[in-house]
Structure 1
């Protein structure tokens, strides 16, 4: 079957949508272009985002701004140690009128679910999101209910060495397409924040620039972005390199290969291109792979980080140089 590629008008629509959302997020958090672009790529690839950093750098604000910029249903869950799984998924209650059970959906039944400080809840409650993140459905009392599409979880968490945190298990980390570190703003950006954020809530200035239909269309366009055989081989080589690295005890899973390719397609579409370049893969590899690997004891003792190891692997794995085959006619 001949490969197909998106039309120029579809690509322009995706690029304009990404640019509009990026502009609205910049009204709230300036100087975070790298993190914002990674979040947008994850959204357009219909993946889940894990924002991890120390308290106070804008993780929750970024998640809320994304929800404000998109005219979709947004559910927010404040994860606490006493949160129950039913508080996430919903619960069946007995009606007093006819003595029948009625299902009351939880906040997970939304297009965008903001899971705030997800690693402050118990592992049992964290696991309540597993099915929804993988299968876009929730099973309660033996009945499976589909979730709205598009569906994505934007979770925030503090570093695992902070007090009162429960580390996410490997199986749940692997379901997040990306883990993104927000980082501290530059001095100029922090000065701008002091000038503009002390009198008004910056979230009030965020305008709606997308709806569920626009996001769903953009996601379909991203899926049709062309990927050459060398580009796919580069994805496989990068992921296999994590499994063979002497600094890693556990490498990335096959799911990581699929999701890294989806992210590369999203980045290409955001740039108005109908095909994936190796640079697309390389740019998003740390965000897509670092949270899926486990360092060896020797690497930890040498103060190495997973992000640094993955970044070094992207520099060492040869980049394919073969040209892109001519795609199918539009």
Structure 2
């Protein structure tokens, strides 16, 4: 990866490489675009095979947050923090407090929150050094998995909108959904779908989660590599990104791809390939925006009920993208990108 070329080509404003020797912190903060407001994006805590992979993840996720906020009508831009987890080590207070001090020096340009690998505990450690953090103890986003539930709720609504578009009915009874990944969001998605009568195929690296899904949702388990090949109405990716790629697209036997994972397309052209193959794609940064909508509601001091109403707007946004794509004969992924760039461009040219 040519790092400077990637930063310039995608219009990043800042990329911070952070090392705090006393605490052992090694992290990256990527701030993509603050045209609409301060950059929002969670703090990811993961082991990476290389430092380059960690940087690429931060860049990719930060850009996705810009698009997610813009398409959802939120007054925020996109950013992301990635803390590199040393093998065999868990989060340590000193490291996250050091990260909090760095975020505080940015003066509100970037606001962090929970993401993969972080919990309320890490957010509380960051909070001890800065106010530019969400999902802390007692907050809306940290209350009873509310953020994960609302992300899943948005995905559920997006699946129903996609079914209506593809089949003329949003009815889930009699439909089969293949869910890849049973983390918090994926598991909550299964719950929403099961209650409406969908048949579920599930896959996860954690056998205990698969076993729970079989018992609770009467799901059928399939292998992690076989999930792509299942005959189903909806393929619902809820794990890591980049899973719609050269290898997997030819395997898909679904009519719709709609799930919670970020950055599902390995490359933008894969959205066009899905379209050419007759597969309807719910753009990931549209359908999985429930979490960031909750974050924005928390910052604005809104209630859980108000946040839920805002999340329900995902269905309307997705329907608008489908109409735009159809009217212009383009893929839904291209339609979403065009509409998002239009909002950003309009904001840049306002006096």
Range of TM-score over shorter length: under 0.3
Bigger Rg, structure 1 or 2: 1
Q: Scaled by the length of structure 1, what TM-score is found?
A: 0.26
Per chain length, whose mean CA-contact separation is higher, i.e. which structure has more relative contact order (CA < 8 Å, sep 6+)?
Answer: 1
